[in-house]
């Protein structure tokens, strides 16, 4: 059991996260939030690369900083900007990481073989990483995070740069890995975690806004989501009256999908997770961009 107790993180005078409380047991948790929301900050604290300014993080009720090596032994981490050596082969790179992690050489060899098979890279283990596609590199990244068979696996935007086929494959891989461990993965792409995450955490205004399962999240918009086909000149009026989540050009007008607290003569539709995401972060563009203008 991994627990975040009332954690605040300041970078000098800037507060990145405020009073965050979270609990994780086994299964996949999706950290879904736009750019600059604090996903990497939270993950870096969970892997002890940076520390809370206030509050603490515990694993089985002990502070992870005090656990030190004991905690790092059960931890796997794929950083957002994961560095690798292009001229290394996949096997050589993984052997190198295994050595850094202090794994026994013979055991590491076996483990690497197993892992390359798990992620479907068994035939290219001897190929240089510079020949790998983005998706293949990400899978090598997952392998390095899994070398020590971690109980806690933290993946920071593991699907960045993957094509749709690779994303689908990656999702299946995560499901098989989740059985007896905690997996926390961050993304700002809803479909990456749709159907596989046990719970989704949304961060807004530096705080955890929601930690709910997908059913609960969708129910936030139950009975409030509508579609209507309207003339082009009415679109602006809809924007000022409702939260318009999407617009689509149709033959006979513009199809708007919007949230209204009151029912009207519109077509009520089933909310998707994407709708909830769009609704929650409606006014936000790129938070990290905003900051530059502070
Ligand atoms: N070392 C740092 N010093 C100062 N500010 C930082 C530092 N690291 C992050 N921040 C700021 O903290 C906020 C959260 O950043 P963080 O990288 O955690 O967001 P994120 O959700 O991972 O974003 P992205 O989706 O772009 O990866 C941002 O406003 C960022 O500019
Ligand atoms: Mg990040």
CATH of the domain at 158: 3.40.50.300
In a domain, 288, yes or no: no
Of the listed ligands, the closest to the CA of 202 is 1
In a domain, 282, yes or no: no
In a domain, 279, yes or no: no
In this structure, the answer to whether residues 120 and 55 fall within a common structural domain is yes
Domain coverage including residue 228: 223-270
Q: Distance from the CA of 37 to the center of ligand 1, in angstroms?
A: 7
Is residue 33 lining ligand 1, measured as CB closer than 6 Å? Answer: yes
Of 66-80, 160-174, 185-199, the one with minimum mean pLDDT is 160-174
In this structure, the answer to whether residues 153 and 232 fall within a common structural domain is no
In a domain, 113, yes or no: yes
Beta bridge partners of 226: 258, 268
In a domain, 150, yes or no: yes
In this structure, the answer to whether residues 145 and 260 fall within a common structural domain is no
User: Can you tell me which atom of ligand 1 is nearest the CA of 80?
Assistant: 27
In this structure, the answer to whether residues 26 and 93 fall within a common structural domain is yes
Q: What integer pLDDT is reported at residue 44 of this predicted model? A: 97
Going through the chain in order, the beta strands assigned E by DSSP cover 2-11, 14-24, 27-32, 54-59, 62-63, 75-78, 152-156, 182-187, 199-204, 207-212, 225-230, 243-250, 253-259, 267-268
Of 96-100, 170-174, 227-231, 277-281, the one with minimum mean pLDDT is 170-174
To the nearest whole percent, how much of the chain has pLDDT over 90? 77
In this structure, the answer to whether residues 21 and 135 fall within a common structural domain is yes
Mean pLDDT of the chain: 92
Which residues, at least 6 apart from 60, have a Cβ–Cβ distance to it below 8 Å?
1
Q: Distance from the CA of 37 to the center of ligand 2, in angstroms?
A: 8
Residue with CA at minimum distance from ligand 1 atom 5 = 11
In a domain, 280, yes or no: no
Q: What integer pLDDT is reported at residue 258 of this predicted model? A: 96
In this structure, the answer to whether residues 189 and 258 fall within a common structural domain is no
Q: How large is the average pLDDT for residues 7-24?
A: 97
Q: What is the pLDDT of residues 230-259, one digit of tens each?
A: 999 999 999 999 999 999 999 999 999 999
Q: How large is the average pLDDT for residues 152-157?
A: 95
In this structure, the answer to whether residues 115 and 150 fall within a common structural domain is yes
Is residue 10 lining ligand 1, measured as CB closer than 6 Å? Answer: no
User: Can you tell me which atom of ligand 1 is nearest the CA of 287?
Assistant: 29
pTM over 0.85? The answer is yes
In this structure, the answer to whether residues 134 and 117 fall within a common structural domain is yes
Q: How large is the average pLDDT for residues 255-282?
A: 93
Q: Distance from the CA of 17 to the center of ligand 2, in angstroms?
A: 13
Residue with CA at minimum distance from ligand 1 atom 25 = 35
Is residue 39 lining ligand 1, measured as CB closer than 6 Å? Answer: yes
- Give yes or no for residue 285 having a pLDDT over 80: no
In this structure, the answer to whether residues 144 and 248 fall within a common structural domain is no
Q: What integer pLDDT is reported at residue 284 of this predicted model? A: 66
In a domain, 291, yes or no: no
In this structure, the answer to whether residues 97 and 227 fall within a common structural domain is no
Indicate the pLDDT class of residue 39, thresholds 50, 70 and 90.
very high
Of 184, 218, 252, at which residue does a domain stop? 218
CA angle 141, 143, 148 (to 5 degrees): 120
To the nearest whole percent, how much of the chain has pLDDT over 70? 96
In a domain, 231, yes or no: yes
Contact 213, 198 (CB under 8 A): yes
Q: Distance from the CA of 125 to the center of ligand 2, in angstroms?
A: 29
Number of domains in the chain: 2
In this structure, the answer to whether residues 198 and 233 fall within a common structural domain is no
Residue with CA at minimum distance from ligand 1 atom 18 = 38
In this structure, the answer to whether residues 158 and 256 fall within a common structural domain is no
Q: What is the spatial distance between Cα 178 and Cα 175, in angstroms, rounded to a whole number?
A: 5
């Amino acid at each position: 059991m991994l627990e975040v107790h009332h954690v605040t993180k300041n970078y000098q005078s800037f507060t990145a996260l405020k009073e965050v409380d979270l609990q994780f047991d086994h299964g996949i948790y999706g950290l879904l939030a736009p750019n600059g929301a604090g996903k990497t900050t939270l993950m870096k604290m969970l892997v002890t690369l940076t520390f809370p300014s206030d509050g603490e993080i515990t694993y089985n009720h002990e502070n992870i900083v005090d656990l030190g090596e004991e905690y790092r032994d059960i931890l796997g981490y794929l950083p957002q900007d994961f560095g690798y050596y292009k001229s290394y082969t996949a096997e050589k790179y993984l052997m190198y990481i295994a050595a850094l992690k202090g794994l026994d050489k013979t055991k590491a060899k076996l483990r690497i073989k197993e892992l390359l098979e798990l992620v479907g890279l068994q035939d290219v283990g001897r190929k240089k990483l510079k020949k790998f596609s983005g998706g293949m590199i990400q899978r090598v990244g997952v392998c390095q995070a899994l070398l020590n068979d971690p109980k806690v696996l933290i993946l920071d935007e593991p699907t960045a740069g993957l094509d749709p086929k690779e994303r689908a494959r990656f999702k299946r891989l995560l499901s098989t890995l989740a059985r007896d461990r905690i997996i926390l993965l961050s993304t700002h792409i809803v479909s990456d975690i749709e159907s596989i995450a046990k719970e989704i955490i949304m961060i807004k205004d530096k705080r955890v806004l929601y930690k709910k399962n997908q059913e609960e999240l969708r129910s936030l918009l139950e009975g409030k989501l509508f579609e209507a086909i309207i003339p082009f000149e009415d679109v602006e009026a809809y924007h000022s009256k409702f939260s318009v989540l999407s617009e689509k050009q149709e033959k006979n007008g513009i199809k708007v999908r919007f949230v209204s607290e009151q029912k009207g003569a519109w077509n009520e539709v089933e909310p998707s997770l994407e709708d909830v995401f769009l609704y929650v972060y409606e006014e936000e563009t790129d938070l990290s961009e905003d900051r530059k203008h502070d």
